[in-house]
Every structure is written in structure tokens, then in C-alpha cells.
Amino acid sequence: MNDDQKHETFEKLYLPVQTALRGYLFATTRDWMATDELYQEVSTILWRKFGEYDTSRSFRAWALGMARLQVLKQRQGFARSRLVFSEALMETLANDAGDESGDDDWRLPHLAACMERLPSADRELMGMRFDRDLSMAEISHKIQKSVAAAGMSMMRIRRWLRDCMEKSMATEKAGAL
Amino acid sequence: MMDRSTEQLLSRYLDGVETPEEFAELERQALQSPELRRELVRLAKLDSMTRTLVKEAAAAKEFSKCGERIIATERRRWRIRWVCGAAAAALVVCVVGVNLWQARQAEKLTVAIGREGDAKPPIPVPAPHVPAEGRLVAVSGEVWVARSDGTGQSAASVGTEVRADETIVTATNASALFAYADGSTLRIYRASAVVLSRTDAGPGLDLRQGAVDADIRKQPEGRRLRVLGELMQAEIVGTEFRLMADPRGKWKCLGVRTGVVEVRRVADGQKVVLKAGNYAAVAPNWPYMLMDARVCPVWKEICRAMAGTEYP
């Protein structure tokens, strides 16, 4: 395989697993900085070790396995600031996330369309949480609600976005049939 | 579908507001329930996708503001140049032009990531059919490549090819992994700008601002990767190193992780040989160039602090 072919093969395999990778990293760290750093580390390692990848195996499972190793390596660092899952659970989560049959096939355009339909107050909340990376305590202070109430709003928005995304995907599938 | 209390527990966990008791309960349940684990990964994935979109929207807004500033500054600069040209002798105009060109070159890259002070530098026209130096193999957040073919900046994604005389720019919330054709990589951190170049002697890179971790494969016989810049220069045969640069061009820092690198201070030609763990920082009128980070970890911290932002 020449370099161009290697690049192309890597991209083809890597692109569909990016979201699952980031999802796993965030599920285990709950820290966007750590997630971003680990994501870069894992991407580098996947590219470096791509020559060792056995094409008869699932790339997704291989990638999630690498992600798990990196999370475990740096676990001590983020364990100081918050509660962190046991190694056993991290491994099980990586196996689950690496299982292609469990993939929801969620797509960003669907989510983008749903986010546009969110009320402006909810979009603002999303901005505070995901763009400015504010903690729930900071958000609750800004919106002058309790932390519990802010948390309930987040849960409601997550549920709504998910339902909306799944509905729009189902509609798209039905239209394609 | 999860029951309401489990959904709430997962949501509280992802928001980082769960109590230690809730955390223990979640961990206990997750170890037993594949459904709960799938739900957790699914919700984290949803958060990650939401964050990507929210960041993209915010960056697009900022980028558009930047564009307006660039246009305004360009107009202002053209007006100034026109007045100068009409008023001054040809020799004076030449001097002013050179100064403007230098100022614009130093400032341009900060524009792309939303700083004050901006202007587009002259972008060299490439030779036709310039082969790509490599591609971006991982991208997180907003990353652009300033094209040398006159098309200006374009958003980059995984697979984007980058050629000599092109610049990779990462926004303040972004990072990228660039792979050269020989497998060498540049890990480009947030708020960075790296100009790639090439001569017969091999590839070159000039970090205008930000930070880069380079892992350079052994270069072919007689070839070197050249680290360029107005403050320090180095020739790399094959090693891992980190470069950091102040956006105003006031200092540059190089730290070696593996191998050996000879760094030359451009101002006086002074050279130092850096081994693994050594850092060299160069700034005008600053006599120090070398410190061993293993002996004096403060040195590494100084380089990090000078970057003005937290790099790992």
C-alpha cells in the first residue's frame, strides 16, 4: 500500500468512528479539555499504528481499544478533579462503544436541523454549556436558577434533541423506501 | 428507553453534578446493565455532537467578524499607502512599502484566529502542479488552510492536502494532526499557524504562533527538515520536538523530546545543541538559550507560560 492509499484507507475507516471515539472519551472523562487532548492522542496513535491494524477485524473496535488504553494511562490526571469509573467499567464501555451493531447512525445535519428548532433560551443554555464550557454551577448562577433546575433543563433538551433527531432520521428512511 | 430516574442520573453524571452516592449507584448499575451503558455512551455522543455544532456556529460567527475586520483594515491600509505614495518620493515609498509588507506578514496569521490587528500577507504563487506535502489526518474544531493559489483561506477537514507555501491555521478551540507523506507528523495545537515550505534540501516549517509537536521520521541522506523563522532556526534529521511561538513574534521556544537538535539564534549566529529534555528559548536581547528541563522543570513552564495559553 503506497502513502496515498494508506491515507485514503485510514480516512475511510477513521471518519465514521470519530463521533463514537469522542463520545467514549467524554463518557469516561466528562472533561472537554481532556476529551480534546485524548482525541488528538488517540488519532495520532491510530495513524502511527495503522500499519499494525488487522483489516479482518473491526476498525471501530480497534480504535476504541486504543482510546481505552489512553484513558487508562491518563486516568490519574483527571481522577484528581472528579469521580472516575473503575478500569473494569471503562473497558466494558469501550467494548460497547466499539460494537458496530449498537451504532445509532446519528448524523450532524439531523442534529443541526433539530438545534435550529430549539427555543432561544435553550440554545443559549447549550452555548453556555458547550461553547463557553461553563460548569452547571456557573450556568445556574447566570440563569438565576438552582443547579438542579439547570440540570433538569439540560436533561429535557437532551431528550428533545434525541427524539427530534430520531424522528427526522426515521422520516428520511421512510422517504427513501 | 430508560426510566426517568435513570435518565436523570445519567444526565447529572454527564453534567458533573452527581453526588458520590449517585456516582457509586451509577457505576454499580452500569456494570450490570448493557442497556444503561449503551445509553450512557449514546448520551455522551449526543453531547459531543452538540458541542461540535455549537462550537462551529460560534466560530463561524467569529470568523465572519474577522472577515469584516480584514476588509476594513485592508481598505485603511490601501488609503494610507495611496496618500504616502502621492506625498513622498519614490525611495521613501519603497521603504514604507517594505515596512508595511513586513508588518502585514507578521500580523496576518493572528487575524485568522480572531485577534486584533490584521491584514493578509502576500501569498506566494506556487509552481504549477506542486505535490502535496501531506494531509490532515485528524481535525478537531475550526481549522483552515491558507492557500497559496490565491483562493485565500479555506476550511480544512480530514483529508485536506497541504502544499509547500501553504499555512495551516487552528482556531482557539481547535487542533489538527498533519501527516507528511513520509509518515512524519505535526500535532498542531489551538491558536496556531504553521507555514510549510520546501527547497531542494528538504521540507521546512515556520511556526508563526502557537505550538506544534513534531515527530519527524529520519530524513533521507543529505536531506533535512528545516525549522525556519526570524528568531531561531534548526535542521532536523529525525527527532521529536516541540515548538512554541509568541504571536507577536517576540520569542520562540524549542524543546527536544528525543534525539538531538542544533538550534541557531539568527541574531548572532549562536548555536546550541539540545538533547532530550532540553529547551531553548530565543527572544531579542535575551542572553539565555538553553536549559535542561529535567534539571530545571521551571524552564519548560516558562516556555508554556510564554505561549500565553495552556498547552499540555
Contacts of A161 (CB under 8 A, 6+ apart): A111, A114, A115, A118, B46, B50
pLDDT at A68: 94
Rounded to the nearest angstrom, the gap between the alpha carbon of residue B272 and the centroid of all alpha carbons in its chain is: 25
pLDDT at B299: 54
What are the pLDDT digits (tens) for B78-132? 555 555 555 544 434 444 444 444 445 444 444 444 443 333 444 444 445 678 8
Per-residue pLDDT, averaged over B31-54, amounts to 91
pLDDT of residue A2: 67
Give pLDDT, residue A32: 84
In the numeric block, which cell numbers belong to residue A28? 469516561
Task: Mark yes or no for CB contact A151/B15 under 8 Å.
Answer: yes
Q: Tell me if A30 and B16 make a contact (CB, 8 A cut-off).
A: yes
The torsion angles phi and psi of B147, rounded to 5 degrees, stand at -75, 145
User: pLDDT band at residue B305, thresholds of 50, 70 and 90?
Assistant: low
pLDDT confidence of residue B40: 93
Interhelix angle A87-97/A59-79, rounded to 10 degrees, is 150
pLDDT score at A103: 67
Calpha distance B55→B65 (Å, rounded)? 15
- Bridge partners of B209, per DSSP, are B193
Per-residue pLDDT at B94: 40
ipTM for this prediction = 0.90
**Which of A23, A24, A13 has the alpha carbon at shortest distance from A49?**
A13
How confident is the model over A20-24, as a mean pLDDT? 90
B247 compared with A140, residue with greater pLDDT: A140
* All residues at 6 or more sequence positions from A80 whose CB lies less than 8 Å from its CB, including other chains: none
Where would I find the H helices in B88-208? 90-112
Please check whether residue A160 touches B, CB under 8 A: no
Of residues A82, A111, A161, nearest to B16 (C-beta): A82
pLDDT band at B1 (very low <50, low <70, confident <90, very high): low
Mean pLDDT of A123-137: 91
* Distance between CA atoms of residues A150 and A136, nearest Å: 7
Contact B171, B179 (CB under 8 A): no
At A146 the three-state DSSP class reads: coil
The pLDDT assigned to B167 comes to 92
Task: Give the integer Cα–Cα distance in Å for B78 and B186.
Answer: 36
Q: Is residue B181 classed exposed, middle or buried when 0-12, 13-18 and 19+ CB atoms within 10 A define those classes? A: middle
Q: Residue A83: its chain B contacts at CB < 8 A? A: 18, 20, 23
Give residue B112's pLDDT: 40
Of residues B262 and B312, the one with the higher pLDDT is B262
The average pLDDT across B37-66 equals: 78
Distance from CA of B77 to the nearest CA of A (A): 34
B11-36: average pLDDT? 93
Residue identified by cell 475586520 is B69
CB-based contact, B178 to chain A, within 8 Å: no
Question: Does pLDDT of A11 surpass 50?
Answer: yes
* pLDDT confidence band for A15 (50 / 70 / 90): confident
CB contacts of A158 in chain B (<8 Å) are 11, 43, 46-47
- Provide the pLDDT for residue A136: 93
| A64 close to B (CB below 8 A) | no
Evaluate if residue A80 carries a pLDDT over 70: no
- Calculate the average pLDDT of chain A: 87
Parallel, antiparallel or unpaired: strands B132-140 and B175-180: antiparallel
Whether B201 contacts chain A with CB within 8 A: no
Share of chain A above pLDDT 90, in %: 43
CA distance A177 to chain B (A): 26
Show which of residues 5-44 on chain A sit within 8 Å of chain B, judged by CB atoms: 7, 10-11, 14-15, 19-20, 22-24, 26-27, 30, 32, 35-37, 39-40, 43-44
What mean pLDDT is predicted for residues A101-114?
Answer: 80
What phi-psi label fits residue B246: left (phi over 0), alpha (psi between -120 and 50 degrees) or beta?
A: beta
B16 touching A, CB under 8 A? yes
- pLDDT tens for each residue of B146-171: 876 656 778 899 899 999 989 999 88
pLDDT tops 70 at residue B49: yes
CB contact (8 A) between residue B54 and residue A96: no
Would you mind telling me the total number of residues written for chain B in this entry?
312
Mutate: best of A4, A6, A7, partner B, most B CBs <10 A = A7
pLDDT of the residue at B72: 52
For residue A67 the three cell numbers come to 482510546
| Calpha distance B250→B284 (Å, rounded) | 7
Confirm or reject contact between A51 and chain B (CB < 8 A).
no
Between B109 and A6, residue with greater pLDDT: A6
Reading the block at residue B48, the C-alpha cell is 459531543
The closest CB to that of A19, out of B18, B45, B135, belongs to: B45
pLDDT in tens, B178-228: 999 888 999 998 888 999 999 888 899 999 888 899 999 888 888 889 999
Which of A19, A40, A89 is closest, CB to CB, to B49?
Answer: A19
Q: CB within 8 A of A115, min separation 6: which ones?
A: A123, A126, A161, B50, B53, B54
Counted residue by residue, chain A has a size of: 177
pLDDT digits (tens, 9 = 90+) for B228-281: 988 889 988 888 888 888 777 777 888 888 888 888 888 888 888 888 877 888
CA distances from B174 to A43, A96, B19, B243 (A): 14, 28, 32, 17
pLDDT at B165: 87
Which residues are CB-neighbours of B58 under 8 A, at least 6 positions away? A127, A131, B173
Separation CA B85–CA B77 (nearest Å): 12
- What residues of chain B lie within 8 A of the CB of A137, using their CB? 17
Contact (CB<8Å) B30/A89: yes
Are A49 and A69 spatial neighbours (Cβ–Cβ below 8 Å)?
A: no
B175: nearest CA in chain A? A40
Beta bridge partners of B21: none
DSSP one-letter string for B108-132: HHHHHTT-SS--PPPPPPPPTTPPE
Interface of A with B in 66-95 (CB under 8 A): 82-83, 85-86, 88-89, 92-93
For chains A and B, what is the number of CB pairs under 8 angstroms? 150
